[in-house]
């Protein structure tokens, strides 16, 4: 049914003269079957992954690091290379605290218009600066805006990255600045083992995110959840490239 719907949309778009990127219409399940893109995993263990995009930030990242340490939580920070260059000390703090660092491109470009060569350069530049500052290799990539298609996923895979998105019902929406109460509810409601949660430590005023974490972290601990890095989530859930629920 979905394929017929997509075909209908494409036909209408072509009649109207719009350019259509049919590669972007591949389903989530099709990408997950390749093992090159992950939204969440199936596990019975009470483990989840908190992720933070667009940093590091000179003010908010250190505040978030302190809160994570207070509740013995680990996270994955998807950084931009430009900001790593601006804040190398904070990047080292992230790494030394035992958190994972992933790539969020170098300059935060719009991926719907990027070429394969430019995306490859974005990935390589970010990896170079992170490795120079932390001495650690990057294995994960989160596309800007969560945008993905064949070019994005396949280019990342060729460069040795797994694309990490987030659980569809666990975008904290902190980028909308909806108030810390709403951010808390967006994370806590319907939380399930294996979820990957989207938050931000950079890209603007993240004071609401920091305030929300003061409620989110103890509540998740109270519910018995362990907060770990994305790579640990994949490893501990037995993820081998194909999600368990698709086998």
Neighbour-count burial of 211, counting CB atoms closer than 10 A to its CB (0-12 exposed, 13-18 middle, 19+ buried): middle
- The single residue listed with the structure tokens 């970010």 is 126
DSSP annotation of 160 reads: T
Sign of the alpha-carbon dihedral angle for 230, 233, 234, 235: positive
Q: Within 10 Å of residue 47's Cβ, how many Cβ atoms?
A: 18
- What CA–CA distances, in Å, run from 82 to 102, 104, 106, 156, 194? 14, 10, 6, 19, 31
Active site residues: 53, 200
Q: How far apart are CA 242 and CA 223, in angstroms?
A: 28
Tokens of 242: 């194909």
Q: What is the CA radius of gyration of the chain?
A: 18
């Amino acid at each position: 049914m979905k394929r017929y719907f997509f075909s209908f949309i494409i036909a209408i778009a072509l009649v109207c003269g719009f350019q259509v990127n049919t590669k972007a219409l591949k389903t989530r399940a099709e990408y997950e079957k390749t093992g090159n893109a992950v939204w969440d995993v199936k596990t019975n263990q009470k483990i989840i992954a908190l992720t933070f995009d667009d940093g590091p930030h000179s003010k908010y990242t250190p505040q978030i690091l302190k809160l994570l340490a207070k509740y013995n939580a680990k996270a994955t920070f998807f950084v931009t290379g430009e900001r790593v260059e601006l804040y190398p000390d904070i990047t080292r703090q992230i790494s030394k605290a035992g958190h994972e660092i992933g790539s969020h491109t170098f300059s935060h470009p719009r991926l719907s218009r990027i070429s394969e060569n430019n995306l490859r350069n974005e990935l390589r530049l970010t990896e170079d600066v992170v490795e120079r500052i932390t001495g650690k290799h990057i294995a994960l990539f989160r596309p800007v805006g969560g945008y993905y298609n064949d070019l994005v996923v396949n280019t990342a895979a060729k460069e040795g990255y797994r694309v990490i998105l987030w659980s569809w019902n666990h975008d904290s929406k902190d980028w909308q600045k909806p108030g810390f109460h709403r951010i808390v509810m967006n994370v806590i409601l319907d939380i399930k083992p294996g979820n990957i949660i989207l938050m931000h430590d950079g890209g603007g005023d993240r004071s609401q995110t920091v305030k929300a974490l003061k409620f989110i972290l103890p509540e998740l601990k109270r519910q018995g959840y362990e907060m770990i890095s994305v790579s640990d989530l994949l490893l501990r859930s037995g993820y081998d490239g194909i999600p368990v629920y698709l086998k």
